[in-house]
Structures are given as C-alpha cells and as structure tokens.
Copies of this chain bind each other. A is one copy, B any other.
Amino acid sequence: MNVHDLPTPSLLVDADAFAHNVATMAEARPGAQLRPHVKAFKSTALARRLDAAGHHGFCAATPKEVLGMAAAGLGHDLLLANEVVDPGPLRAMAAADARVTVAVDSDATVDAAAAAGIREVLVDVDVGCFRCGCPTADAGRLASRARRLGLEVRGVMGYEGHLMMEPGETRADRVEEAMALLLGAHADVGGDVVSGGGTGTFRENTWITELQAGSYALMDTAYGGQGLPFQQALFLWLTVVSVSPGGWAVANGGLKALGMDHGDPTAEGYRVLYCSDEHVTLLPLGDGGLPKVGDRVRVVPAHVDPTVAYHEVLHVVQGEDVVDTWPVDLRGW
C-alpha cells in the first residue's frame, strides 16, 4: 500500500529512522544494559524489534503493559517500574507466564506485592523527580521488610525524570547527584540491578546497570531539541480538509491524536496556529504557499508517549510504501 492510501489521521513510523535509532542505542547500551520502556510505544510488535536487537528485558508503566508483553511471549524479564497497591492487577501479574519484577517504595506496596504472590521487587528510590520512590535512607529497611515477606529483592531503581530536558552543560553533574542518591540506597539494599535513566540521560547516566529508555525509538520534538543522536521516526499523517483564502489550511487531526502536554506539534513548512479536537490549523511559512484540499501533511508530535496512546496502530513506512502495521496493543490499564 502507498502511504497516500492510508486513512487519516494515522501514525506513521519511518522505518529507516526507527532502524537508525534502534542501532544507535544498541551500540551505546547493548543487550541487558538497556531495558526498553514499552510505555513510549505500547506495541508488542515494536518491542519484538528491540528484542531482536538484543534487549530481552523490558520496562513497563502499567500492569496492562506487563500482561500484554507476557501474552506476546516477551516475558523474559519484565519490570513494572511503577507502584501498584490494587490486588487485582498484582495477582494477574503474579500469575502471568513471565518473570515479573515490580517496584515498591512503601510498606503498603511491599505488603501488597507479597500478598498477591509477586516474587521479585526493586526498591524504587526518590532521586528528585517529585514522584514515586522512597527516601534513600528508607530503602534498606524496605528491602529487609520485603525479604522477610519472602520477596526476592533484585536491587534498586530511580528515575531522574526531572533531568531529561536539563541543559547539556549541567546535565552530567545533576545526573551524578541524582544517582548518588540511588547508589546510596543500593549500598543498603543490595542486589544486582541498578535501574534508571531515560532517553534524555542515556549518555550521562553511567551509574546504572540498565537504562530505562523508550522515547529514543520513535522520538518527539521535545527530545528532538536535546541534541541526541536519534532521528524523528514518528509522524501524524493528516489530510488537508479546508483551505481558507484568509491564508490558513486545516488538516484532520488534533487534540485526540496528539499528546499536548509539551505543546503544539510542528509541521515542516508551516507554523501551527492551534489544535482543536479533530483539527490542526496551519499557516504556511516563507514562500511555501497553501496546500490544496486533499493534500497530505506530516505533523511531528511534541510528546511521543501520550500521542501513541490515542492510536490503534502504527503504520511503518519506507519512502511512500507502507511496509508493516504494528498494533498499539498495550493501551489502557
């Protein structure tokens, strides 16, 4: 199929850019040094490509992602890098045909994991992100509690999410400070695993045993401005449905096709005036002129994760050829 025959709005994955990103990261963080984070793409078909590139352990943000990966036969080593207290999803993960490790950061999450039959945990440590994670000083106590309850404590994790967009000149120092908290906890907890990091700190975070990165595979404009060696591989493919003599054009995808927390998307040759539910209004830049009704335009999302979560499939394209279709099968909770 030709890309112009796809329905719109659709998400496109540029096969060559994706392959470049996978290869670039696999060179920097080969094999088990990378634990790809499926939350960024929510697709077992995409995850299978990363598995083929040598990364057999994966990271997830929701029980649904863990269960979907297990059902797809990708359950070699799944980490739920998030806290869960509800017994239902914990029991389902414990029963999955997979090696499942969950993050814990409190008595309540340790006890819930143990009660549900979870076998392995990581102690999640607060490294400055104002999100989950126990204080460094509490990590050893939690690990002891977990071990008393029969849980295997594999080590620690800590996500320096607040440093993903940190300016380059201070990033390494601030990552070192954050990881000092994690390593301090690790000294008390023990275990083989020190898990953390993300696409934005994949070079600077040399303190961990495994990197939790997902955005690098498809990328977005937020990470695109960070000077990373990854290429934009994800595009929203739209049809121009209205052109005004006033000088703007409107394409048929908007707030329900794009994560908007990082702001408007971008579009080559246009300034994005604004997005509404099912539209993006485009102003031509320079001498580009207006498109015609029926023309297709490619829009670059500002934030990959909540963009993909709106879509049912990713269409993989090479030039104008649609070469594959990957279901976004890990959506929801």
| A interface residues, Cβ below 8 angstroms from B | 7-9, 39, 61-62, 82-86, 88-89, 105-106, 108-109, 126, 130-133, 135, 161, 239, 241-246, 248, 250, 252, 255-256, 259-261, 273-279, 281, 292-294, 303, 305-306, 309-312, 332-333
Are B131 and A85 touching (Cβ within 8 A)? no
Contacts of A256 in B (CB 8 A): 259, 305-306, 309
A239: B residues at CB distance < 8 A: 85-86
Question: In the complex the two chains form, is A260's CB within 8 Å of B306's CB?
Answer: yes
User: Complex: how many Å from CA A292 to CA B85?
Assistant: 11
In the complex, how many angstroms separate the beta carbon of A84 from the nearest chain B beta carbon? 7
For this chain, the copies found in one complex come to 2
Contacts of A310 in B (CB 8 A): 309-310
B contact residues around A135 at 8 Å (CB)? 244-246
Residues of B close to A86: CB separation below 8 A: 7-8, 239
Known: A85-B241, A130-B274. 11 other contacts (CB 8 A): A39-B278, A82-B252, A83-B250, A106-B243, A126-B244, A130-B246, A132-B250, A132-B279, A135-B245, A255-B303, A259-B260
Partner of A255, one of B84, B133, B259: B259
Give every chain B residue within 8 A of A61 (Cβ-Cβ): 277-278
Closest B residue to A126 by beta carbon equals B244
Most buried by B among A86, A252, A261, A305: A261
**Closest residue of B by beta carbon distance from A283:** B130
Central interface residue in A132, A242, A246, by most chain B CB within 10 Å: A242
Q: Given A242-B105, A261-B255, A305 and B277 touching (CB < 8 A)?
A: yes
